[in-house]
């Protein structure tokens, strides 16, 4: 099925470990986004990529890096995980300024 | 400060009853507005959006929303709720001048549907 695919779906890390969250879309969208969702706080933008080859910081970028590998793929990396990064992470794709399709999320716990 | 407020954290309605979910925003630029729905364990799905023109916007699944500039509101409505509408609903606002996807999301409203 067409859409946004995120891997992994669940992950448990220890403080200080690193990992990369993968995201791929097959809808030929130019823009891709990474959000985190925390209880009672809605979604907050971490990083976005308006088009292939460009990335920019969102509302909460500290502790994260991203790579727009090609038009389809946009990865999010935690270099040194901290408990405050325990969250559900969503990747989305869409047209300019319009995240339209979201993945099912990655549930990340950091101990 | 830019913000989106969904005053109702939790709403319960009976199946077949009408529904209105409230959304108020504070935004300096010309806004565009969205409603998303999230089912448990899944990502968000775009229900509808408003950019300009007719202030009554039709979306998927029988939902509509009305933009009222004077009240800074963008309330979501449905005439007759189905059990499958039980989910969490998010209102979001962004700047029309921007292509960043820097939407500001409300905290969400959880809808429960009674049989």
Test A103 with B32 for CB contact under 8 angstroms.
Answer: no
| pLDDT for residue A77 is more than 90 | yes
Q: Residue A45: closest CA among chain B residues belongs to which residue?
A: B102
Report d(CA B15, CA A20) in Å as an integer: 43
Across the range B62-84, mean pLDDT stands at 95
Structure tokens at A65: 């890096």
| pLDDT for residue B34 is more than 80 | yes
- Which pLDDT score is estimated for B28? 76
| pLDDT for residue A1 is more than 80 | no
Find out whether A71 and A30 touch, Cβ atoms under 8 Å: yes
Chain B residues near residue A50 by CB distance under 8 angstroms: 99-101
| pLDDT for residue A109 is more than 80 | yes
| pLDDT for residue A89 is more than 80 | yes
Q: In this complex, is the C-beta atom of A38 within 8 Å of any C-beta atom belonging to chain B?
A: no
Report d(CA A67, CA A89) in Å as an integer: 16
Nearest to A13 by CA among A81, A69, A101: A81
The DSSP symbol for A73 reads B
| pLDDT for residue B87 is more than 90 | yes
pLDDT per residue over A38-68, tens digit each? 987 788 999 999 888 899 998 899 999 999 9
Give A108's Cβ-side CA count (13 Å radius).
32
Cβ neighbours for B55, distance < 8 A, ≥ 6 positions apart: B66, B67, B68, B69
Instruction: Find which of B23, B38, B43, B105 to mutate to test the A interface (most A CBs within 10 Å of its CB).
Output: B43
Q: Which of B43, B46, B107 sits opposite A105 (nearest CB)?
A: B43
Test B101 with A31 for CB contact under 8 angstroms.
Answer: yes
Report d(CA B104, CA A43) in Å as an integer: 8
Across the range B95-105, mean pLDDT stands at 72
Test A94 with B42 for CB contact under 8 angstroms.
Answer: no
When mean pLDDT is compared across A95-99, B2-6, B73-77, the lowest value belongs to A95-99
Instruction: Find which of A99, A101, A103, A104 to mutate to test the B interface (most B CBs within 10 Å of its CB).
Output: A99
Neighbours of A36 (CB within 10 A): 23
Find out whether B82 and B15 touch, Cβ atoms under 8 Å: yes
| pLDDT for residue B96 is more than 70 | no
Across the range B39-58, mean pLDDT stands at 90
Nearest to A44 by CA among A109, A99, A82, A95: A99
Q: In this complex, is the C-beta atom of A99 within 8 Å of any C-beta atom belonging to chain B?
A: yes
State the burial class of residue A60 (Cβ atoms within 10 Å of its Cβ: 0-12, 13-18, 19+). Answer: middle
């Amino acid at each position: 099925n067409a859409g946004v695919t995120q891997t992994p779906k669940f992950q448990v890390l220890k403080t200080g470990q690193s990992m990369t969250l993968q995201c791929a879309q097959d809808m030929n969208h130019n823009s891709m986004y990474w959000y985190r969702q925390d209880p009672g706080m809605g979604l907050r933008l971490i990083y976005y990529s308006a088009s292939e080859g460009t990335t920019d910081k969102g509302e909460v970028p500290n502790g994260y890096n991203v790579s727009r590998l090609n038009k389809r793929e946009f990865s999010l990396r935690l270099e040194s995980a901290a408990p405050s990064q325990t969250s559900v992470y969503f990747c989305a794709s869409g047209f300019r300024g319009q995240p339209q399709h979201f993945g099912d999320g990655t549930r990340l716990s950091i101990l | 400060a830019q913000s989106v407020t969904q005053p109702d954290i939790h709403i319960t309605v009976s199946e077949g009853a009408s529904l209105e979910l409230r959304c108020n925003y504070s935004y300096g630029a010309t806004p565009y507005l969205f409603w998303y729905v999230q089912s448990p364990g899944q990502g968000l799905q775009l229900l509808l959006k408003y950019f300009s023109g007719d202030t009554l916007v039709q979306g998927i699944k029988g939902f509509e929303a009305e933009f009222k500039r004077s009240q800074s509101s963008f309330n979501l409505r449905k005439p007759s709720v189905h059990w499958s509408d039980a989910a969490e609903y998010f209102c979001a606002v962004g700047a029309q001048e921007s292509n960043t996807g820097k939407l500001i999301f409300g905290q969400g409203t959880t809808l429960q549907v009674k049989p």
